[in-house]
Amino acid sequence: MRKLAPLVQRRRLLSAIVALAFCLSAMFGWLAASSSDVMDAAVRQGLTDEDSIPVRTLALTAHAPILIDGNAGFTNASGVVWGSGTASDPYVVADWDINASSASGIRVRNVDSHFIIRNCYIHGGGLVYAGIDQYNCTNGTLEYNICSDNYYGICLSSSSNNYMNDNNCSSNYVGITVSDSGNNSFRNNTCSLNVYHGILLDNSDSNSLIDNNCSNNDFGIMLSESADNNLNNNICSGNMQGILLYYPGSNNNSLTNNNCSDNWYGVYFYDSSNYNALSNNTCSNNLYYGVIISSSSTNTLVNNNCSNNWYGIFLEYSNSNILANNTCSNNGCGAYLTSSSNNTLINNDASGIRLYSSSNHNTLSNNTCSSIYEGLYLESSSNNALINNTCSSNVYFGIRLCLSSSNNTLINNNCSNNDCGAYLESSSDNALVRNHLCNNSEYGVYIASGSDNTIWNNTFIGNNGATGTHNPSHMQACDNGTGNLWNSTNGYGNYWSDWTTPDDAPRYGIVDVPYDIAGSAGGKDYCPLTAPEVPTEPIPEFGMMPFVVIGLIAVIVLAGEARRRKA
């Protein structure tokens, strides 16, 4: 077991001084008021004697460690100051100052009576003992306790339907630990400056964690093999990892409105943590990752703010996840997928999306990847769909495919005002259709190498310095590959703003002369469009020859019919 760092020791000393000052202040305040004044105030508010129980007595009273085993263990000797154990009149253990150096401060075991542990200061458990330890308990409420300098501030095991509210479990090894326990509520607790975890759930399902402050620990909140838990509006900042879902079985958890900023990692899903939902969380200003999903699938990330990290959202070995409407701006990379398949990224505002070795039906749709170095970058990634993305005003490329990124489909993307609109290197069998490639300082499409790519029905305007008048030194695309097609097999090419006439033989919305593509391939668009939209009339696959043949056949048939009528 590692020793407390000097910083933690100093923090614990400070916490003890603050707690002592608080107790002294409270003592003098209560001494200044008579008991008759307290009763008079209760009468004025219309309260009964039972209702007017104060939160704390005149001062905390020293008490030896307490053990309550079974319902019969609730006695005055065990620290009970009032109550009968019913829901309306719970047993109350309150206002004790307990040194836990020889045993856990308050141990409650094997009970189902209603009880409250309130306003106790439990400390000194060191490397061995807990502040409050509950085992096999239901119907318990822990509130306004201070548990510091223990191994566990609060330990809950094999227990259900308990409430932990407004406790301060700071400067322990672990703030609150929960094992094999379900349907408990943890609200508004402070679990900071602990050596390991702020709150740890181990094999514990259907718990509710709301409005807790779990900052400046090793881990803020950790779920291990724990499912169906609700984490809402917690603060998990200044940790190594803000929220961690760990080990198989951490499934179906809901994380909403949590602040996981200023950590190393904001939110981390690891090792088959599946079917979880993250929504409206803030995961910004983390050293490495806003959200990282590792070996986990079928998670949904919606409306999260993952800005100002090194990586906004990072997926590795993770499939079938949905990332929608997230803000991932001002990161080193907005969203990064490696060795991941069947993921959907839609409507994200990302400082770049990168796929590495990620193939088989990843869909990137309606994302904004602008004003960065590279918008969408696929490396060794195939069989993906890039649709309706805006990749404009980037330093280098709007979209880049490289290192055998093949069989990808790029449809209706806006790749304008970049250095290069779309760049293909060592990538083949990709289809680029209906993309807007405008006003890029270099080429709209540049194929550095690769074969059998199809580029058609795209709009090329003002790339490489092109104007409305064609200039061979300002061609808008370059092809150094082999076998690439710049028009479809059914006769649709691309619209080139510097190549819109003539269309006279006859007028089918196709320029009569092919558009030359720069580069060593000697590529040509044989069916350049006269307007940015594909014409609605059918375009012959083999030029005008079929129409000439059909016309001659029609003339022969009509002439023969005329001769038969005369005869």
- Please give, one letter per residue, the 3-state secondary structure of 458-513: CEEECHHHCCCCCCHHHCCEEECCECCECCCCCCCCCEECCCCCCCCCCCCCECCC
The size of the chain, in residues, is 567
Within a domain: 59: no
DSSP bridge partners of 202: 179, 224
Q: Are the beta carbons of 387 and 366 closer than 8 angstroms?
A: yes
- Sequence-distant (≥ 6) Cβ neighbours of residue 441 within 8 angstroms: 418, 419, 420, 464, 465
Quote the domain boundaries for residue 434.
Answer: 352-536
Rounded distance between C-alpha atoms, residue 559 and residue 155, angstroms: 101
Amino acid in position 441: S
Task: Give the C-alpha separation, 545 to 42, whole Å.
Answer: 103
**CA-CA distance, 527 to 537, in Å (whole number)?**
14
**132 pairs with which residues across the strands?**
106, 154
d(CA 450, CA 430): 9
Q: Is residue 364 part of a domain?
A: yes
> What is residue 27's predicted lDDT score, i.e. its pLDDT?
37
The residue assigned the tokens 């289809």 is 431
Within a domain: 440: yes
Reported as type and span, the H/E element at residue 67 is strand 66-69
Phi/psi for 53 (5° steps) reads: -65, 125
What is the separation, in whole angstroms, between the first and last Cα of the chain? 114
The residue among 312, 309, 429 whose CA lies nearest residue 359 is 429
DSSP 330: S
Per the domain annotation, does 505 fall within a domain?
yes
Per-residue pLDDT in tens (0 to 9) along the chain, 567 residues: 333 343 334 344 444 443 444 344 433 333 333 333 332 333 223 333 333 333 333 489 999 999 999 999 999 999 999 999 999 999 999 999 999 999 999 999 999 999 999 999 999 999 999 999 999 999 999 999 999 999 999 999 999 999 999 999 999 999 999 999 999 999 999 999 999 999 999 999 999 999 999 999 999 999 999 999 999 999 999 999 999 999 888 999 999 999 999 999 999 999 999 999 999 999 999 999 999 999 999 999 999 999 999 999 999 999 999 999 999 999 999 999 999 999 999 999 999 999 999 999 999 999 999 999 999 999 999 999 999 999 999 999 999 999 999 999 999 999 999 999 999 999 999 999 999 999 999 999 999 999 999 999 999 999 999 999 999 999 999 999 999 999 998 889 999 999 999 999 778 899 999 999 999 999 999 999 999 977 544 443 333 333 333 343 333 334 444 444 444
Q: Compute the CA torsion angle 281, 362, 336, 451 (nearest 10 deg).
A: -160
- State both tokens at 182: 């379900």
State the Cα–Cα distance between residues 239 and 219, nearest whole angstrom. Answer: 6
**Is 376 contained in some domain?**
yes
Measured distance CA(397)–CA(400) in Å, rounded: 6
Structure tokens of 54?
Answer: 């104060």
Residues 6+ apart with CB under 8 A from 488: 454, 456, 457, 527
pLDDT at 474: 98
SS3 of residue 561 by DSSP? helix
d(CA 393, CA 117): 60
Residue 292 lies in a domain: no
> CA-CA distance, 124 to 102, in Å (whole number)?
9
Sheet strands (E) in 347-411: 349-350, 353-356, 363-365, 374-379, 385-387, 397-402, 409-411
Please indicate, yes or no, if residue 389 is contained in any of the structural domains. yes
Q: How many domains does the chain have?
A: 1
Contacts for 478 with CB less than 8 Å, ≥ 6 apart: 443, 445, 446, 447, 517, 518, 519
CA-atom Rg of the chain in angstroms: 35
Cα→Cα distances 524→39, 205, 464, 493, 509, Å: 96, 63, 17, 10, 17
**What is the pLDDT, as a whole number, of residue 105?**
98
The DSSP secondary structure of 435-458, one letter per residue, reads: -EEES-SS-SEEESS-BS-EEES-
Residue 506 has what pLDDT? Answer: 77
Alpha-carbon distance 343 to 345, whole Å? 7
Match 């008048």 to its residue by tokens.
469
Phi, psi of 40 (to 5 degrees): -60, -40
- Residue 147, classed as helix, strand or coil, is strand
Least Cα distance to 496 among 540, 464, 452 occurs for 464
The pair of three-digit structure tokens given for residue 472, joined into one six-digit string = 């061979």
Helix%, strand%, coil% for the chain, nearest 5: 10, 35, 50
In this structure, are strands 91-94 and 80-82 parallel, antiparallel, or unpaired? antiparallel
Q: Is residue 176 part of a domain?
A: no
- Candidates 358, 363, 314; CA nearest to 343 is 363
pLDDT in the model for residue 535: 54
SS3 assignment, position 100: coil
CB 103 within 8 A of CB 150: no
Cα–Cα distance between 49 and 39 in angstroms, integer?
8
